[in-house]
Amino acid sequence: MTHPHPEGPTIAWRRLDVDGREAATIHERPSGWRLFGVAEFREAENSSCLTYMIDCNRSWQTRACEITGFARGVPVAVSIHRDLANGWTLGGLPAPQVRGCVDIDLAFSPITNLLPIRRLLLKRDEILRVRAAWLRFPQLTLEPLEQTYTRTGLNRYLYESGGGVFRRELTVDDAGLVVDYPGLWAASK
């Protein structure tokens, strides 16, 4: 459930597939948007705690992403940047495999579904395909991920990736934040 906040909306999620939770907030800035969040989860005997910050321009296109913390007990410090020509770097090194992407997609969080939802502004029954720079977890490598968003209702989107192999009907709030991601995340009440 999202809560009003003087800086922007905030949300807390609980993980449904493993023991975990996440909290995030959105701040409007003169140059665009900044998303902050903390995700904690446990898979079998492995614990992870990741803090992220995503900077976007006014059109909700990713400019930078910083992730710190630990993943499965291993310290993490990841820096990702996108330039004006849609070239990406990971840790300061070129990431040509995701050239042309405009969105970051964090495999461990539902926050990044917000980016294409806010940017695309789909009409009911409209379908659009996007190609995101997907940060895999726990590998923390970037690869392209073809995604399809279909607006099925006022606050509902059919999300597909992997050529339709992965499909979920997402429910979002008025800010575009996912409140129900079947089998993976649900907004905390």
Torsion (CA) 111, 113, 117, 123 in degrees, nearest 10: -140
Number of domains present in the structure of the chain: 1
Q: For residues 77-98, give the mean pLDDT.
A: 97
- Residue span of the structural domain in which 131 resides: 2-187
> Residue 136: left if φ>0, alpha if ψ -120 to 50, beta else—which one?
beta
Q: Which two tokens stand for residue 38?
A: 């903390």
Look up the pTM and report it.
0.93
Cβ-proximal residues to 36 (8 Å cutoff; 6+ apart), any chain? 24, 25, 27, 51, 52, 53
Question: Is 21 within 8 Å of 188 (Cβ atoms)?
Answer: yes
pLDDT digits (tens, 9 = 90+) for 22-39: 999 999 999 999 999 999
- CA gap 15, 13 in Å, rounded: 7
pLDDT digits (tens, 9 = 90+) for 124-140: 999 999 999 999 999 99
- pLDDT of 66 higher than 70: yes
